Chain A
């Protein structure tokens, strides 16, 4: 079972790397939905591996699947369709950091997460790949810093939340905390969504005059 968790953890790391690579917002939303599905699968497997005690893990998996795997991506897609004339062409055209550079920094952060975990918590917990959620957390934070597009920043935030769920479910098995934190962060997410959408709308109105030049840029 441990090996399955390791594979899923590395899959999440790769998906976050692909988010750094992907320029189109619809692509990033799709990748986020995919990673939420993986987190849900992870929670289900975790529940199966600890029989009898944590039925709440299945509830949490269901919530992750519906809210973060389906509802949030659908809402974001709809908002994209409302805001832009050609939603499939909306992309990050002026990132704060180049794509190649941000992937390399991301790698450095993964290694940093590994070293921090290995030298602090590993002695106590003895879980081999417990560094994966730390790495995800740092990567998602980088996604927020390195991109300027509000949608992608928001997805970075939601990825941070995914990594928190993973961390608390796997490394510390304190479930009530997860449910609470998940719910609160989702609420917070909604607030952020609505505030950011307003910002995006303003930006969209400002950018309308620029035409094709901004598309050719990056």
Chain B
């Protein structure tokens, strides 16, 4: 049964990741009093890209071709090990703990950057350099957040952290948890490319992740985009299931019916977060590029204050 859940989890992430992007786009358009595309638009885009031929720059090496496939595979692997539809570890979960998961996200981002550099396009280089300078500072903050969660639960296993936060209100309502949640939300904004940091336009002054796949076409671009949707889906699921709303995630006692029900409930949770993002994207204006680092400094400060709050408040 556990293997079945594993397969189900992968299919769930694969199938619904583009939907999330479509829903967000649609809500944003509605908030701006426009009709906007259908919520299934990302699927149509992917289908169209899969039918197109792929063009490869003469100057690129095989890394350019392989990059999107490897990155996609990494996210598939992460879908197996993170707590998305179950609160108990599935067969592949012991492959990596929380820090390991963060390393896999980091590795996927690094491969993305290598393949973007290999396209030898100026725009891709510009995006890569921006993404790298932001990423170099977000990774340590993420590690600090995971260390604080480790302090809270005595492990760095996401399933145990979920259990601790679900069952003990004194941790759920602690200052440490509050600071960690806000800091991770700020990191989430950067990683999923929401507005105070990154706008979804092709204006070269502000683009970060949009610039990296500039030379990609056809199936490679489709895999690249699908990978990005999956990354956003996974990070948002982790944010909800481990940090903010650790409740209702099915335990082994819930059985197949519980897991089935949770498949729907999780979509509702994600919808809530997507609405928050849509509100952000329609109300907040973009920071200038170098102001993003002040935003990161605040995220770091909050993660650090979680540490101090532990020493001041919770230390025995």
A contact set with B: CB distance below 8 Å: 3, 6-7, 10, 13-14, 17-18, 21, 99-100, 103-104, 106-107, 110-111, 114, 128-129, 131-132
Contact = CB atoms under 8 A, between A and B. Distances in A.
B148 interface: no
Contacts of A110: 305, 308
B134 to A, nearest CB: 13
A106 to B, nearest CB: 7
Contact of A103 (B175, B294, B309, B312): B294
A17 B294 contact: no
29 contacts: A3-B313, A6-B312, A6-B313, A7-B175, A10-B175, A10-B179, A10-B305, A17-B298, A21-B294, A21-B297, A99-B297, A100-B293, A100-B294, A100-B296, A100-B297, A103-B294, A103-B298, A103-B300, A103-B301, A104-B297, A104-B300, A104-B301, A107-B300, A107-B301, A107-B304, A114-B311, A129-B312, A129-B313, A131-B312
Nearest to A129: B312
B133 to A, nearest CB: 13
B302 interface: yes
B290 to A, nearest CB: 9
A107 B175 CA distance: 17
Contacts of B293: 100
A30 to B, nearest CB: 17
Contacts of B302: 14
A32 to B, nearest CB: 18
Nearest to A110: B308
Nearest to A6: B313
Interface string B274-316: 0000000000000000000110111011101100110111000
A114 B308 CA distance: 9
Given A13-B305, A107-B304, A21 B312 contact: no
Interface of B: 175, 179, 293-294, 296-298, 300-302, 304-305, 308-309, 311-313
Contacts of A132: 312
A40 B174 CA distance: 23
A2 to B, nearest CB: 9
Contacts, number: 50
Given A10-B175, A128-B312, A106 B305 contact: no
A13 B313 CA distance: 15
A3 B175 CA distance: 9
Nearest to B313: A6
A-B interface, 7 closest residue pairs, ranked by CB to CB distance from nearest: A100-B297, A103-B297, A99-B294, A129-B312, A100-B293, A100-B294, A6-B313
Contacts of A107: 300-301, 304-305
Given A6-B175, A13-B305, A114 B298 contact: no
A103 to B, nearest CB: 4
Contacts of A17: 298, 301
Contacts of A99: 294, 297
A10 B179 CA distance: 10
In this complex, the member of A13, A14, A18, A106 whose beta carbon has the largest number of chain B beta carbons within 10 angstroms is: A14
A158 B8 CA distance: 58
A127 B255 CA distance: 48
Contacts of B313: 3, 6, 128-129
Nearest to B307: A111
A104 B137 CA distance: 13
A142 to B, nearest CB: 13
Contacts of A111: 308
Contacts of A129: 312-313
A6 B175 CA distance: 9
A129 B293 CA distance: 30
Nearest to A101: B297
Given A10-B309, A107-B301, 7 more contacts: A3-B313, A6-B175, A6-B313, A7-B175, A14-B305, A17-B301, A128-B312
A135 B38 CA distance: 52
A81 to B, nearest CB: 23
A149 B296 CA distance: 24
Contacts of B300: 103-104, 107
